[in-house]
Chains A and B, each alone.
Chain A
Amino acid sequence: GAVVSQHPSRVICKSGTSVKIECRSLDFQATTMFWYRQFPKQSLMLMATSNEGSKATYEQGVEKDKFLINHASLTLSTLTVTSAHPEDSSFYICSAPTGSWYQETQYFGPGTRLLVL
């Protein structure tokens, strides 16, 4: 199946710094990618939809200026957590559908564990 990678897999940072997480589709092109956040023992919550060449669409309650998304190419989307605080500590996962994605499964990255001290 299709492969989606994320980098880094784990990051620890100080409060107030910014962290960039990359999501890459390795063997297919993705005009759309999705960013999720998962807190311990909770489900995945969609944060935003990343669209290649246009602005991301954010879910209600997600701060656009705090979680910057850039989808500059058909194989790369980045999520930057700006001025991170301890409450931003979470597991961030991206996904990308292939083809006509409402008919096909989405492929998920392995996730990035963020810890803000």
Chain B
Amino acid sequence: KQEVTQIPAALSVPEGENLVLNCSFTDSAIYNLQWFRQDPGKGLTSLLLIQSSQREQTSGRLNASLDKSSGRSTLYIAASQPGDSATYLCAVLNSGGSNYKLTFGKGTLLTVNP
């Protein structure tokens, strides 16, 4: 059974700081790994998707890396802004029997203080 762990559970930083969010997973037989953002009471917004054959993906100030063999991923946010405040979720896609299945971590609640 796939398990996804995110560390830290919460993080508070001053505006402008660079930061790293961590994600680990127990079953390395994944198809891809995705990072999502969730604002309070809202749905999910996809930030980055890394295929199992890839090592990293970049979008603007965001950079995500994947080390499939060790079951780890990091999300790097450069020059953080108050608008980055949200919960960041990591999810991995596995084959779940006859269907594919996304398994989520509990998320990291990020607060960027102005």
Contacts and interface: CB of A to CB of B under 8 A. Distances in A.
Given A44-B89, A93-B44, A102 B32 contact: yes
A107 interface: yes
Contacts, number: 58
A31 to B, nearest CB: 12
B34 A43 contact: no
B32 A103 contact: yes
Interface string B56-99: 00000000000000000000000000000000010101000011
Contact of B105 (A4, A43, A57): A43
B104 A111 contact: no
A109 B102 contact: no
Contacts of A4: 43
B33 to A, nearest CB: 11
A15 to B, nearest CB: 23
B49 to A, nearest CB: 5
A113 B41 contact: yes
Nearest to A5: B43
Given A93-B44, A102-B32, A108-B45, 15 more contacts: A1-B46, A4-B43, A6-B43, A43-B89, A43-B106, A44-B89, A44-B104, A45-B104, A46-B103, A49-B101, A57-B99, A93-B43, A103-B31, A106-B34, A110-B42
